[in-house]
């Protein structure tokens, strides 16, 4: 804890700002995860913590270790890059799985495959994005 006492004042203010920004945004995101009504609303909320929440805390960590070790320390940025890359992948997989489950039990809250099929048949057999998406969806089943 001793390097803290000779931390310059500007570094302390910067670290405090970025730490509180990151932690506050993460708290808001988790509060949204707790409060929002439906699953597809809820899946947006924690991304607040994994985007700017992580960025704020990582920037604070970079500033702190760069000042105390008096050299540029960039390895906390690795966590930021890793989280930024992996979060969309996991959330896309999770939301596709949730959509698949909702459609399998004919939940009226999500657009069904039947509905998409009918609209694409009415509008002729042109291969717009909806019909391509549709054919991928049926091929998977």
Partner 1 sequence: MSAIIFFWSVTVAQTALGIAMVLAFARMIRGPRAQDRVLGLDALYSNAMLLMLVFGIGTGNSLYFEISLIMSALGFVATVALAKFLMRGEVIE
Is position 29 an interface residue for partner 1 (rule: CB under 8 A)?
yes
- Nearest CA to 79 among 95, 59, 99? 59
Which part of the chain contacts partner 1 (CB under 8 A), choosing from 96-104, 114-122, 124-132? 96-104
Under rule CB under 8 A, which residues in 4-23 are in contact with partner 1? 4-5, 7-9, 11-13, 15-16, 19-20, 22-23
8 A C-beta contact, residue 11 and residue 34: no
Of 58, 61, 33, the C-alpha closest to 47 is 33
Contact status: 83 vs partner 1 (CB under 8 A): yes
Q: In terms of CB distance, is 42 or 117 closer to partner 1?
A: 42
* Residue 100 in contact with partner 1, rule: CB under 8 A: yes
Angstrom distance (rounded) from CA 68 to CA 7:
7
């Amino acid at each position: 804890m001793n390097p803290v006492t000779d931390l310059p004042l500007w570094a302390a203010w910067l670290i405090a700002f970025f730490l509180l920004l990151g932690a506050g945004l993460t708290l808001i995101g988790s509060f949204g995860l707790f409060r929002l009504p439906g699953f597809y609303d809820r899946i947006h909320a924690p991304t607040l913590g994994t985007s700017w929440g992580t960025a704020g805390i990582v920037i604070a960590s970079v500033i702190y270790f760069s000042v105390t070790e008096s050299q540029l320390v960039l390895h906390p940025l690795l966590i930021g890059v890793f989280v930024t890359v992996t979060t969309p992948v996991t959330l896309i997989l999770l939301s596709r799985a949730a959509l698949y489950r909702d459609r399998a039990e004919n939940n009226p809250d999500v657009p069904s495959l039947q509905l998409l099929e009918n609209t694409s048949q009415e509008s002729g057999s042109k291969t717009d994005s909806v019909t391509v998406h549709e054919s991928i969806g049926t091929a998977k089943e």
